[in-house]
Amino acid sequence: MGIIGGGQLARMCAGPAAELGITLSVLAESDEASAALVVPSSPVADHTEADAVHAFARHCDVVTFDHEHVPPHVLELLVAEGVQLHPRPEALTYAQDKLAMRERLTELGIPCPRWARASTSADVTAFGDQVGWPVVAKTPRGGYDGKGVRVVGGSSELADWLERASTDGTGLLVEEWVPFRRELAVLVARSPSGQAAAWPVVETVQTDGVCTEVLAPAPDLDVGLSSSAVHAALRVAGALDVTGVLAVELFEVGEDGGDPSFVVNELAMRPHNSGHWTMDGAVTGQFEQHLRAVLDLPLGSPRPHGRWTVMANVLGGDLPDLYPAYRHVMAHDPEVKVHMYGKGVRPGRKLGHVNVLGDDLGDLRARAGHAADYIRGVVTE
């Protein structure tokens, strides 16, 4: 199996691939890419260069992705050359292009924030005056972890984006600002044969636009909301013919005391940060499941091992050498599962994550948070 992109998501496929007897090859950004450090076959090339990607892909039985950034013309060439891509470009476009995603989800009747395509300052102003300010503006392509997203009180704050959008003709996505109760995510996997499996709905906690904590399952989640969210994710996976793992990020909304409901925030068609808890917390982790789905192998059970699993991301901080902190965390709590990505430290960069399982959610959050904060260097005891 080929994976385009050598980040931590490709790296975390390596263990399950070895266990399943699947030979991986990774198209890496550099010899020092996270996945290139652990996968024997890791040629280095630029994923935007069609010839290089094709040279890589024709030695693979099937090709999947570490990220959504392979340009459409490269994907089209691969398909024309007979490469088996999962997810297929027809599906992947809805994870690459947020305007296309909003159009399609709206057609399917999946709840979304009110939205519009804006090409001019006047479009933005008209939308904001209609739904109320502030509004959320997004570049349709290339955003992640809060990049490519702005909350704006007027169209003048988007002058640079609108100028670029008018040049390339793409337009911007503008959405109503949703006063959400919290953020949720549903992770499902779907195979080319159409088999699908869903993990429980989780709560995701973001800090400065970056996911820092995941609670699995989402605590105190309304049963009807849980069911309708899973149903919606499976429906999206089926209607878009998604193959592999699909992450659907949601906002839980509703008046205080009223019935909760949700709107879809984003889609990702690959293993996702909101699913890292499954590596230790479920019978089948998301990386194994993605491999099984992409190869059209029967899917594994998503059953959780315990009552709760809490995941906390380890972000780069001031400590240049993480090893002593990492030793300390292991000694402090033998139940904490530490996952490191082999990446150099930069402030705010995702360097790893920790998982911890058990029966007491508050205790687990404290322990996972302590481990992540200690490795980051923001707590020292």
Q: What is the DSSP string of 266-282?
A: EEESS--GGGTTHHHHB
CB neighbours of residue 122 within 10 Å: 10
Asked if 225 and 261 touch (Cβ cutoff 8 Å), the reply is yes
- Between 128 and 300, whose beta carbon lies closer to its own copies? 300
Candidate residues 89, 134, 260, 342; the one interacting with its own copies per rule CB under 8 A = 342
Site for its own copies in 142-201 (CB under 8 A): 197
Q: Which is nearer to its own copies, 238 or 358 (CB)?
A: 358
Shortest separation between residue 303's beta carbon and its own copies, angstroms: 7
Q: Give the side-chain half-sphere CA count within 13 A for 115.
A: 25
CB 333, CB 356: distance < 8 Å: yes
Question: 308-315 and 337-340 as β-strands: parallel, antiparallel, unpaired?
Answer: unpaired
- Helix (H/G/I), strand (E/B), else coil: 44: strand
30 binds its own copies, rule: CB under 8 A: no
CB of 373 to its own copies, least distance (A): 18
Stretch touching its own copies by CB under 8 A, among 39-47, 89-97, 103-111, 135-143 = 39-47
Return the residue of 306, 319, 345, 349 that touches its own copies, per CB under 8 A: 306
Q: In whole angstroms, what is the distance from residue 252 CA to residue 370 CA?
A: 27
Q: Nearest 5°: phi and psi at 314?
A: -100, 110
Of 56, 41, 62, the closest CA to residue 292 belongs to 62
Query: According to CB under 8 A, which residues from 250 to 279 bind its own copies?
Result: 279
Cα–Cα distance, 365 to 381 (Å, whole number)? 17
The position carrying tokens 């640079």 is 160
Quick one: 87 or 304, whose CB is closer to its own copies?
Answer: 304
Segment near its own copies (CB under 8 A); pick from 7-15, 51-59, 81-89, 136-144: 7-15
Nearest distance, CB of residue 304 and its own copies, angstroms: 10
Q: Which of 18, 122, 151, 379 binds its own copies (CB under 8 A)?
A: 18
Build a one-symbol-per-residue string for 345-374: x at contacts with its own copies by CB under 8 A, - elsewhere: -------x----x-----------------
Length of the chain: 381
Near its own copies by CB under 8 A: residue from 132, 153, 301, 324: 301
Q: How large is the angle between the packed helices 361-376 and 323-332, nearest 10 degrees?
A: 160
Q: Which is closer to its own copies, CB of 18 or CB of 122?
A: 18
> CA 73 → CA 68, 77, 94, 308, distances in Å?
13, 6, 15, 43
Residue 17 interacting with its own copies (CB under 8 A):
yes
- H-only helix segments in the chain: 8-11, 14-20, 50-57, 72-80, 89-96, 98-108, 121-131, 159-168, 223-239, 278-281, 286-294, 323-332, 361-376
Q: Given candidates 1, 12, 267, 364, which one binds its own copies under the rule CB under 8 A?
A: 12
Minimum distance, C-beta of residue 230 to its own copies, in the bound complex (Å): 17
Candidate list 109, 334, 344, 347; residue touching its own copies; CB under 8 A: 334
Sole binder of its own copies in the list 56, 94, 115, 341 (CB under 8 A): 341
For its own copies, the binding residue among 305, 348, 363, 379 (CB under 8 A) is 305
Name the amino acid, one letter, at 121.
Answer: S
Q: Does 344 bind its own copies (CB under 8 A)?
A: no
Within 10 A of 336 (CB to CB), how many other CB atoms are there?
21
Count, residues near its own copies per rule CB under 8 A? 44
Q: Does 77 bind its own copies (CB under 8 A)?
A: no
Per-residue binding string, its own copies, 312-331, x by CB under 8 A, is: --------------xx--xx
Residue 132 CB, nearest approach to its own copies (Å) = 46
212's enclosing H/E stretch is: strand 210-216
Residue 52 within binding range of its own copies, rule CB under 8 A: no
Binding site for its own copies (CB under 8 A): 11-12, 14-21, 23, 37-40, 42, 197, 279-280, 283-284, 292, 297-301, 303, 305-306, 326-327, 330-331, 334-335, 337-342, 352, 357
